[in-house]
Structure 1
Amino acid sequence: MKNLFFALAIFLLATTAYGQGDTSYRANKFNDFKLVPLPAIGSNPANGWLFGVAPSATWRMGDPATTKLSNLVGNILYTTKKQWLISSRSNIFLNEDEWILVGDWRYFITSQPTFGLGSSTPNDPTESPNQPGVYWGEQQMDFSWIRFYETVLKRVGTSKFYLGVGYHLDVYSKIENFVEEELPSEIRFSHDFYNDQLGFDTERYTISGITLNAVMENRDVAVSPYEKNFALISYKINPSFLGSDQSSSSLLLDYRHYFPLNKQRKRHLIGVWGYGNFLVSGNLPYMALPSIGYDMFGRSGRGYAQGRFRGESALYTEAEYRFPLQRNKNTFGGTVFVNAASFSSRIDNEKLLGKINPGYGVGFRVMINEKNRTTISADYAFGQKGNSGFYLNINETF
């Protein structure tokens, strides 16, 4: 009931924001509306091939001269690994960009491998050198996951800065660990060992909290920027009285910058992205720890499967060179990119930046709506120690 109350409170804040921000263009709230109801075919190492529908919509909630494009990406997907992935992620700018509403809702019946904590975990199964009797290397996990994230941000004066509050809820349940081969009875899975050490249940847990957020939104188009920048500082407080299994807090820092290389062809650019995610106080259950590929749209760490690296704190950086493939049109484009990630593990005494895992790759882009920059992206990326993957998605990676 507590979680439901706070979810409803965020909806009320969003409704109030809409009423205050939408003072004009009321006769046509959805200017420049474009819906792409694509049948979805995607791929990544954690899910295999994905099939279903993935509607993508862009529109303006006010005067096009003063209001940025809003966007929503939905998914109803079934994968070759027998997973169901249902989600809706949105970034909505109200009239004259006075308010921003950011939503991330998910219901997954899914699975993915985990390898233990930190940046040094191997691909192949082995016993942890730091924790005798604990399984290291690839371990499969089946689980269900409900997420409700909603944030309301208010612009500060006429600046590009916003302040706001959000409610974030994650519920992991029906968690089951397994490997294909027979394990000695004394060997324990990384997930179960970690949760037992810190007093969390191994089959179900909840993280429920409030975030305090500061944002600088200066991108020209959020789904596929050509220039300028974006920054986020988000401090998350997960008190037990809101439903979290244990009280904790964490800090997320995110910065993105886009450098056009040709004023006449702004699609010719370099984009850079960096973020840090840090456990500040208390403890988080295993699946709620910072992990590769767990940003809002699941795009970080190309070259590795989602969840390949996990730890109490994380640092990530990426640079991508984007370019058009046609002299006078923007339909086809290409990319080359490099990234690097590092994760810490208190339980294995591994420090942040003690080991760095790089990735690199190339990509192909097809812009299916040039006005709103809706793009289909296909990438192939390589990581260390034989890790690699093919990624097929809608819109740019960041």
Structure 2
Amino acid sequence: MQSIISSERVALMVLSCMVCYFAHAQRPANEIEISKYHTDTIYQRDLIDIGKRLLNVKPPEDKDSTGKKFYFSFLPFSTAVPGGGHALITTTTAGFYLGDRKDTHMSRVTFTPYTNFGQRFGFPIRSYVWLNENKWVIDGDIRILKYPHDTWGLGKEHAAEDYLRMDYTYLRVYQHVLKRIKGGFFMGGGYDLDYRMNIRSRDDMPLAEYTDYTHGTSNKGSSTSSGVSLNLIYDTRANSINPWDGYYANLQWRINPKFLGSDESWQSLYFEAKRYHRFTKNRNKQNMLAFRHIFWTVFNSKAPYLDLPNLGWDPYNSSGRGLPLSRYRGKSLYYLETEYRRDITKNGLLGFVAFTNFTTVSGPESTLFGTWNMAGGAGARIKFNKNSGTNISIDYGVSKHFKGVSLSLGEVF
């Protein structure tokens, strides 16, 4: 495991990179507030159009000049879930405008409840809301989960087949409010709570013995991290459901003191950057290379085990396609992913993606930036709602010891 000093040096390096990133990405304010992407959806087709045609439905025209219309997408499906078994999952995505779409980006709220009608359930609500004229952005994440899944300790100390099955009930409440400072740059703060109850191993070996990590793995069976965070966001995407151009960067410094209810005092730094590069000027055609970087680290050796940086637990749980959830965990994690996106049909109804990702974590048998883990795959895209840009995403990912299919609404990042 890396020392605290080493983590601080890496954090300073990331902060320096972020400054350079902002300097490179900065544009005039009017270009940021009014996206260059204005698609004419009359030339596009989605599943709603096909349904209207089959049912001979002709709704009245709606000019919707204010842009305050809601666009809903709904997808029920059954899938395999971490920890074994299947669950019924229902994903609902709402895209909407809280101002004139000429100067206000599209907001999104995603609700993805699931259950196996037994010992597994979840009620996650994720929101990213732009207020009028993009003056404020509100970022929220509320979850109540009964979530059995597997863990592999720190770094690469355990082989792929040597996992420990664990179970717990999880409450997450994250709420961040940020004000626009200039252009696409926002600054604000928020509150972050991670409360896990009834933490236990489903196998004979206790979690503390398996991980050789004492914090958040004790027999008391609970873990609480309650803190405040400073948040910086740079966002020039007009639509976060399906970005067609722009930049995104998110820096969060989180402090979890005991007086706010945390079991131990600890801090963390999370940084994520995304870039969308288009190869065509045709705004009705998808031909893009997207990529993102994630760096995540903690600064105190007393951070609870389940709060340590780990694969698949970024804000949208979207990292690590082609790898099991939580396959790699450590005090520091870096993740790089690239994806090529392109339409198959001229009307945008069908498309495809190809992706690859690389992960490195600190741990007993691995070093940050010294030990890498790779995965990749491809996927199909079906346009569900052209007005919000919502796609049905079907991805097949593979890695050295794992392969699997994932299904979702909206792009992965």
1:206 to partner: Cα distance: 0.2
Which structure has the highest strand share of the two? 1
2:157 is the counterpart of 1:140: no
CA distance in 2, matches of 1:178, 1:198: 17
- CA pair 109-30 structure 1, distance change in 2 beyond 3 A: farther
- CA pair 156-123 structure 1, distance change in 2 beyond 3 A: same
Is contact 1:119-1:356 (8 Å) kept? no
2:325 is the counterpart of 1:306: yes
2:117 is the counterpart of 1:64: no
Q: 5 Å matches for 1:233-272? A: 233-264=251-282, 265-272=284-291
Map of 1:366 onto structure 2: 382
Work out which of the residue numbers 124, 129, 133 in structure 2 matches 1:87. Answer: 124
CA distance in 2, matches of 1:109, 1:321: 35
How high is the sequence identity, in percent, across the aligned residues? 28
1:257 to partner: Cα distance: 0.2
**TM-score (structure 2 length as normaliser):** 0.79
Deviation readout 1:56-100 (Å, 9 max, x if unpaired): 101000011000000000022114884201110000000000000
Q: Which amino acid aligns with 2:104?
A: T
1:54 to partner: Cα distance: 2.1
Which deviates more from structure 2 when the two are superposed, residues 288-297 or residues 39-48?
A: 39-48
Deviation readout 1:207-265 (Å, 9 max, x if unpaired): 00111011101113111111111001110000010000000001001000000111115
- What SS does structure 2 have at the residue aligned with 1:371? coil
CA distance in 2, matches of 1:397, 1:67: 23
CA distance in 2, matches of 1:375, 1:48: 26
Work out which of the residue numbers 381, 390, 394 in structure 1 matches 2:409. Answer: 394
Deviation readout 1:308-352 (Å, 9 max, x if unpaired): 1111110000000001011x211111000000101112xx37421
Is contact 1:47-1:83 (8 Å) kept? no
Work out which of the residue numbers 378, 389, 396 in structure 2 matches 1:380. Answer: 396
CA RMSD in angstroms, aligned pairs only: 2.3
Work out which of the residue numbers 344, 351, 354 in structure 2 matches 1:333. Answer: 351
Map of 1:4 onto structure 2: none
- What SS does structure 1 have at the residue aligned with 2:314? coil
CA distance in 2, matches of 1:302, 1:81: 27
- CA pair 371-190 structure 1, distance change in 2 beyond 3 A: same
Map of 1:5 onto structure 2: none
Higher relative contact order (CA closer than 8 Å, sequence separation 6+): 2
- CA pair 324-197 structure 1, distance change in 2 beyond 3 A: closer
Work out which of the residue numbers 119, 125, 141 in structure 2 matches 1:104. Answer: 141
Map of 1:279 onto structure 2: 298
CA distance in 2, matches of 1:173, 1:358: 33
Deviation readout 1:31-50 (Å, 9 max, x if unpaired): 12112243344555556543
- CA pair 41-197 structure 1, distance change in 2 beyond 3 A: closer
- CA pair 148-197 structure 1, distance change in 2 beyond 3 A: closer
- CA pair 310-81 structure 1, distance change in 2 beyond 3 A: farther
CA distance in 1, matches of 2:263, 2:112: 29
Map of 1:220 onto structure 2: 238
- CA pair 209-47 structure 1, distance change in 2 beyond 3 A: farther
Which deviates more from structure 2 when the two are superposed, residues 193-202 or residues 233-242?
A: 193-202
Map of 1:288 onto structure 2: 307
CA distance in 2, matches of 1:168, 1:297: 15
- CA pair 353-330 structure 1, distance change in 2 beyond 3 A: same
Map of 1:7 onto structure 2: none
1:353 to partner: Cα distance: 2.2
Q: Which amino acid aligns with 1:150?
A: Q
- CA pair 47-283 structure 1, distance change in 2 beyond 3 A: same
CA distance in 1, matches of 2:257, 2:309: 18
Is contact 1:119-1:357 (8 Å) kept? no
- What SS does structure 2 have at the residue aligned with 1:96? helix
- CA pair 102-42 structure 1, distance change in 2 beyond 3 A: farther
Q: Which amino acid aligns with 2:193?
A: L
Map of 1:357 onto structure 2: 373
CA distance in 1, matches of 2:86, 2:281: 38
1:51 to partner: Cα distance: 1.2
**TM-score (structure 1 length as normaliser):** 0.82
- CA pair 118-193 structure 1, distance change in 2 beyond 3 A: closer
CA distance in 2, matches of 1:311, 1:227: 33
Q: Which amino acid aligns with 2:92?
A: P
CA distance in 1, matches of 2:217, 2:106: 45
- What SS does structure 2 have at the residue aligned with 1:156? strand
1:279 to partner: Cα distance: 0.7
CA distance in 2, matches of 1:188, 1:117: 15
1:375 to partner: Cα distance: 1.2
- CA pair 390-319 structure 1, distance change in 2 beyond 3 A: same
CA distance in 2, matches of 1:281, 1:29: 49
Is contact 1:98-1:155 (8 Å) kept? yes
Deviation readout 1:103-151 (Å, 9 max, x if unpaired): 1000001100011110353112xxxxxxxxxxxx211001100000000
Q: Which amino acid aligns with 1:174?
A: N
1:178 to partner: Cα distance: 2.6
CA distance in 1, matches of 2:341, 2:308: 32
Is contact 2:83-2:165 (8 Å) kept? no
Work out which of the residue numbers 192, 196, 203 in structure 2 matches 1:172. Answer: 196
